[in-house]
Amino acid sequence: MKPYSKLSKEELEKLKQELQGRFDKIKAQGLKFDMSRGKPSKAQLDLSKGLMDVLPGDADMTSSDGADCRNYGVLDGIAEARKLLADMSEVPERNILIYGNSSLNVMFDTVSRAMTHGIMGNTPWCRLKKVKFLCPVPGYDRHFAITESFGIEMINIPLLETGPDMDMVEKLVHEDEAVKGIWCVPKYANPTGISYSDDTVRRFARLKPAAKDFRIFWDNAYSIHHLYDDKRDVILELLNECIKEGNPDMVFKFISTSKVSFPGSGIAALAASRANLEDAKHYMQFQTIGHDKLNQLRHVRYFKDMQGMYNQMRRHADIIRPKFEKVEEVLEREIGGLGIGTWTKPLGGYFISFDSMEGCAKAIVAKAKEAGLVMTSAGATYPYGKDPRDTNIRIAPTFPTIEELSQATEIFVLSVKLVSIEKLLSK
């Protein structure tokens, strides 16, 4: 196919008329598709139905360390849950602290605690004139929403194929005491699907921050979320690298079982140095006497160990892999070679990142909505919802069925084509 930029005005006008006709026919069908969030499908949720049966009323509800999981206590989480989430986080059990049902909640609490009480005896951020966070972009909108909600200034850091632009990260972290943290999704990043290189992880571990309370917010949300058995990204474990470099306290690692079992009903954990965990526990004791130990016990009894979780994730992959491949196939067939968009082909995670022609993303998302396809707002993958080039669109293929996804992707590519033609004709 000929690139659109090589077509004459007359050819573009004719093509636009033809595409608009196809778009109007689809629009008239009154279809409704939701690709706005990275939600597991019903088929994926059904994989974990057995969780509801492992603790019948007559079950022994005592943990391996003798705690009655129906009662108060055990602030750290039961021993077998700590072991399971430690293995998932690739850290020793002593470096794990179990929270409630959501890692996002743990991240919010961690930022909130830093604002009101400070980190490990340092000045609470709310008492400082300026607090800044580094934000690799495109990135996760809910990360940015947390820091924005506290009035923290966010700085865009370009996300490269190897991870954040570390030259920029090092300069800002080393020179500016107001820089207190950086958001990271190091494996199958949201939304690009890239994974950080070994060199990037080592450079993180070697950082020498101007601020004593600088922390790397390492959200390893997709640590075991591979699409393929024979093609998997592997990243270095950051906490151990930080310990090697004499920076054991510099990282907060967040993890949960949200997309392994039930989103919103899983187990979340913080992995960090003992000093960081003791600091977190000091304030946690005022929040709760103990998190949901029955849910912790239920997960351990169901999955048993990491092999059980790996087996579960293979079943997830069998459901979502064809969906990613369907989107990639339609994009390649319909847009490949036209010069109006590029996209990632991740080996895991939950998203495909699409970059349109400059200045077109918002119009594409709005156009798709006209025909019944709801997508993540254009700009959401940047702090303050402001994509400076208006190019990035996050595609979330997991929730619709294959049949729905095929129709939804057709709406998307028609929207891309129509908006791109309009852009070219306006020049």
Write out pLDDT tens, residues 379-413.
Answer: 999 999 999 999 999 999 999 999 999 999 999 99
Contacts of 1 (CB under 8 A, 6+ apart): 336, 337, 338
Among 397, 401, 288, 295, which residue's Cα sits nearest to residue 344? 397
For residue 177, the tally of other CB atoms under 10 A from its CB is: 15
Run of H or E including 341: strand 341-343
Rounded to an integer, what distance in angstroms lies between the CA atom of residue 146 and that of residue 152? 9
What confidence category does residue 1 fall into, taking pLDDT thresholds of 50, 70 and 90? confident
CATH topology of domain 4-44+310-425: Aspartate Aminotransferase, domain 1 (3.90.1150)
Q: pLDDT by residue (tens digit) across 38-63? A: 999 999 999 999 999 999 999 999 99
CATH topology of domain 61-304: Aspartate Aminotransferase; domain 2 (3.40.640)
Run of H or E including 164: strand 163-164
- The residue ranges of every structural domain in the chain are 4-44+310-425, 61-304
The answer to whether the CB of 313 falls within 8 A of the CB of 391 is no
Structure tokens that stand for 87 in this block: 């293995």
Q: pLDDT by residue (tens digit) across 315-351? A: 999 999 999 999 999 999 999 999 999 999 999 999 9
Q: Which residues pair with 154 in a beta bridge?
A: 133
